Amino acid sequence: MSKAKANLMKRMVSWREFVKEEPHLTFGDLREGETFIAFPSPGDNSGHGGFLKGTYLFRKQSGLQSNCSRVCDNTLCSNPDEMPVIKII
């Protein structure tokens, strides 16, 4: 294994431990209508946007199939209640 890959794996493990141990705001903690960005998971450079490029702003909503929408284009999506988020005021 290369040194760069070993360092990446070490950071991913420490990230997972941080998320498990540190208190954080989750999607389930938000109220309907509140806006947020998804806290990226290790290696997330697409999907919710990650932090290496612009990220999407979402709004929590109630619904049977989807529980949030992207603010920029109203694309519906579904997130688990346990997903870490950053609330935007």
The angle subtended at Cα 58 by Cα 48 and Cα 28, nearest 5°, is 90
Q: Where are the domains of the chain?
A: 24-88
CA distances for 4 relative to 1, 22, 44, 48, angstroms: 8, 26, 18, 25
pLDDT (0 to 100) of residue 17: 63
pLDDT tens across 1-19, in order?
A: 677 766 656 665 555 565 5
| Amino acid 3: pLDDT | 76
Per-residue pLDDT tens over the stretch 17-63? 655 665 678 999 999 999 998 877 666 555 555 566 677 899 999 87
